[in-house]
Amino acid sequence: MIDIKLIRENSDLVKENIKKKFQDEKVPLVDEVKELDEKVRTVKLEGDNLRSERNKKSADIGLMFREGKKSDAEALKEEVKVINEKLVSLEEEEDKLNKKIKEIMMSIPNIIASDVPIGKDDSENVELERFGEAVVPLFEVPYHVDIMEKLNGIDLDSARVVSGNGFYYLTGDIARLHSALLTYARDFMIKKGFTYCIPPYMIRSNAVDGVMSFEEKENMMYKIEGEDLYLIGTSEHSMIAKFKDKILDVDNLPYTMTSYSPCFRKEVGAHGIEERGVYRIHQFEKQEMVVVCHPDESEDWYEKMWKYTVELFRTLDIPVRTLECCSGDLADLKYKSVDVEAWSPRQKKYFEVGSCSNLTDAQARRLGIRINDNGNKYFAHTLNNTVIAPPRMLIAFLENNLQEDGSIKIPTVLQSYMGGEEIIEVPKNSKNK
């Protein structure tokens, strides 16, 4: 949510920002907010004048009683009563107007960075840099589900019976690999100085509204029936909400946290074959990084955070590239964002495995996260980034470490997390030899 002062003082900038995000239908909202804001200030001024008048009359009533002018005092008391009734009505009107303003303001997108490329959707994102050599092996790389099935590592059929499409059972060495990757990512971030956290997996609606736009909420979140609770789509949701309505001492900044959680998402829409299997699913696990910092430091943290993800993937022998997200691909709360994509030898192209975002003060305004800087209070900046999100990350790992015989090479950094194993062999009882 942006500062309403920006609409008061530079509404044209806000309108132009909306147009850059190709949300022209929201442009009239800016003038609507300005009109409502003017009404609020008019109502507030009228209320202030009435309170001043009431205070004067109340003082006069006391004086009249002391002077024995009881009838005049009683008449003034009636006038004060009428003023109080008007004030109640004005306060109700002011509250109603402020609620309407907040509702509209939460639909107006955050101001994007000046260097964000302008484009309608993710097809217009801009490649920044590649890390590692994107190799296509001489042998054919199977579909990721086939790789897992050959290793007796996945059961989608049973999951469909138990839970429906978009769920899975991971078993054996694949399940162990899944856990090893998460544990390695956790330790990787701890060594970078981040505090490890396990957050709540459900949050209340006021926390949901604080961390994401209404459109994201509708398309992503599962609501718990009969409860004011939602299953989180990423641990960022509960990690940022942890600071709701808090005033943070400037000397304690930044808060740098790496959090583990299961994640639950509706994943609305139909997808192609490459996005079936375990690519786009309703339940997965994720290691996240979250930073709450001083506004002057958020740009530096943004650069550090996506570079940590790149570094981690390269230690696992996975080539990656970074993409600058264009204006139309940015969620409403984002100031700027970079996607990290891993190389797929099967598809001979890169696919998204993580995203790093700077939201400036958009979430902090919604949640009331402020900094106390020697008595001067202002909103913090928040950032989030994916460390790894298996099992999607498993696809990149398996494809890039696959051997011709179907076995999987374990990079050195991961071997201790796999009990010292250097390779995952194809079992003799493989169901898909």
Instruction: State yes or no: pLDDT of 270 exceeds 50.
Output: no
- 69 and 135 together in one domain: no
- 86 and 148 together in one domain: no
User: What is the DSSP secondary structure assignment for residue 402, as one 8-state letter?
Assistant: B
Confidence at residue 338, expressed as pLDDT on a 0 to 100 scale? 98
> Does a structural domain hold residue 186?
yes
Encoding tokens for residue 9? 């003082």
CATH number at residue 224: 3.30.930.10
Stated pTM of the model: 0.90
- 374 and 260 together in one domain: yes
Instruction: State yes or no: pLDDT of 272 exceeds 80.
Output: no
pLDDT tens, position by position, 154-195: 999 999 999 998 899 999 999 999 999 999 999 999 999 999
* Residue 384 near residue 394 (C-beta atoms within 8 A): no
CATH number at residue 31: 1.10.287.40
pLDDT tens, position by position, 35-48: 999 999 999 999 99
Instruction: State yes or no: pLDDT of 275 exceeds 80.
Output: no
- 308 and 401 together in one domain: yes
- 85 and 127 together in one domain: no
Q: Which domain holds residue 242?
A: 122-424
Q: What percent of the chain has pLDDT over 70?
A: 97
Confidence at residue 424, expressed as pLDDT on a 0 to 100 scale? 97
- 292 and 165 together in one domain: yes
Q: DSSP secondary structure string, 284-316?
A: EEEEEEEEEE-GGGHHHHHHHHHHHHHHHHHHT
pLDDT tens, position by position, 185-244: 999 999 999 999 999 999 999 999 999 887 788 888 999 999 999 999 999 999 999 999
Number of domains in the chain: 2
The CA distance from 401 to 411, in Å, is 8
> Does a structural domain hold residue 113?
no
DSSP-assigned beta bridge partners for residue 170: 154
The last residue of a domain, from among 105, 139, 170:
105
Q: What percent of the chain has pLDDT over 90?
A: 85
pLDDT tens, position by position, 86-122: 999 999 999 999 999 999 999 999 999 999 999 999 9
- 211 and 88 together in one domain: no
